[in-house]
A and B are shown apart, each in its own frame.
Chain A
């Protein structure tokens, strides 16, 4: 599974800048990010090229953060493909906690990152189904080296 860094952050000017600053100083490349906002605070979710290292550095700088497993699925950048994916999830009755996507190569390849609520059994069945449908679950290195 791919790793994502979740960071607790207050919703006020300069907070995101302080995090990008730390990453930049340490030459860490951000592949994708999203922010889940809850008014006064939020969670920043980052996909970076060196997740373990980035997590240690951020924690060392006193930020409340965690490394979390996410399902990163490679999707062909063509109409209808996200729908094919969500249909599988829906048929398996899998709930999505959070998700975001990004295009890697326009017209060719996109990635969908998913945090889902499920048990181990259902998860392995889901993996099989995704493979049958031709979706590729990206492992750590595949994702970071894209």
Chain B
């Protein structure tokens, strides 16, 4: 079924009209409610009334993650703090975290796009849904929760972790839909097999997997191991959280809800649009958000787009799976990590910058593992094993505190981390994604 058939299947010309009307309204709204945008428009000589149709969007300036950091906490908001019903925080690149906030209307929007998402994946209001994304400041758990609530599903809010318990709950309540990261789905398949059970006999029939990049071979592996249909969901907290785009049963691109999240694909260097079907950076404008609407937000995700109507009947364009990043962000178990954050932690320890390397791999458990190799240097070397161990522990704890990611810290000998032209290769990603 299609949750909002009237907008999701809207004829292209009417969709463009709707997007244009919404953009015109949005520009006026941010101009009169957000000083950062007002100043920027004034500087560029943009008169809000001159933005009338969707094709005028190219005249507007981009918004970046740096803007969110620079105007932390509320500078980029268009609604006052007391109009916000909920806020979510994720760790930023360095220094300030990224704050997003939702007004009541925004929460209704989130519920709506998440209901569209669950429907798009094949969900039905009669279904039981197991939500194994983390609940809390991370948007994954609550986003799915709101969508399932909107649709009227029976929700099992297991949140992430406690795998044995997740399996027991699946056996006892027979949910048809599983939501988690794709690597966690594989991990659960292994655990089910380890219990002497057949993962193919699990009650799950549909998986909605996201929050980390994954490949077609990984999809096939999940589908064959768990005997389910594995679909991809895309989102980012700056835009709304999960619920920006979702695959339908044809799994031929992710439908992006362009009536509310207007997508553009640009050349990251020139900022100009690329040809249809070419790879480029995804830029999104939140056409109807009230709390923190963003104009032409640079997601840094590289995708291609297809505007053809889908066999499922939806006219919303489809983006490809994420093909890469324009920055050095890495995603570990659904959490965004920038190498600069790790560098920042290391710099804070005894004030020296050691040579380090980040190695990411998926071990036998299928879960992302992060090793941080820290080179011994005369500054941090201690001739006592106890102090070396406490250094190791301290780095691990600091990284946990800053990134909420558990890392293995490995102390290595001096000059063992390869340096290319004097600069070490900081990140080695061995995951096949």
Contact = CB atoms under 8 A, between A and B. Distances in A.
Contacts of B376: 8, 64
A8 B384 contact: no
B414 A41 contact: no
B57 interface: no
Contacts, number: 46
Contact of B414 (A43, A63, A97, A98): A63
B275 interface: no
Interface string A1-43: 0000010111000010000000000000000000010101111
A43 B413 CA distance: 11
Interface string B396-431: 000000000000001111111000000000000000
A89 interface: no
Contacts of A42: 385
A62 B410 CA distance: 18
Given A38-B389, A40-B411, A8 B381 contact: yes
B170 to A, nearest CB: 36
A129 B1 CA distance: 89
Given A38-B388, A38-B389, A64-B378, A9 B413 contact: yes
A43 B411 CA distance: 12
A97 B389 CA distance: 14
Contacts of A9: 413
A21 to B, nearest CB: 15
Contacts of A8: 376, 381, 388, 411, 413
Interface string B355-392: 00000000000000000000011100101111011000
Contacts of B388: 8, 38, 41, 43
Nearest to B415: A62
A68 B381 CA distance: 13
A68 B415 contact: no
Contact of A63 (B383, B411, B413): B413
Contact of B413 (A15, A59, A66, A97): A15
A42 B412 CA distance: 10
Contacts of A59: 378
Given A8-B411, A10-B412, A41-B411, A64 B384 contact: no
Nearest to B413: A10
Interface string B315-337: 00000000000000000000000
Contacts of B416: 10
A98 B384 CA distance: 9
Given A8-B376, A10-B416, A40-B410, A64 B381 contact: yes
B383 A6 contact: yes
A2 to B, nearest CB: 15
A64 B379 CA distance: 10
A125 to B, nearest CB: 24
A66 B383 contact: yes
A42 B385 CA distance: 7
B412 to A, nearest CB: 6
Contacts of B411: 8, 10, 40-41
Nearest to A45: B383
A43 B410 contact: no
B385 A64 contact: no
The 7 closest A-B pairs by CB, nearest first: A64-B376, A6-B383, A66-B383, A64-B381, A62-B415, A8-B376, A62-B414
Interface of A: 6, 8-10, 15, 36, 38, 40-43, 59, 62-66, 68, 97-98
28 contacts: A8-B376, A8-B381, A8-B388, A9-B413, A10-B416, A15-B413, A38-B385, A38-B388, A38-B389, A40-B410, A40-B411, A41-B388, A41-B411, A42-B385, A43-B388, A59-B378, A62-B415, A63-B414, A64-B376, A64-B377, A64-B378, A64-B414, A65-B381, A65-B383, A66-B381, A68-B383, A97-B384, A97-B386
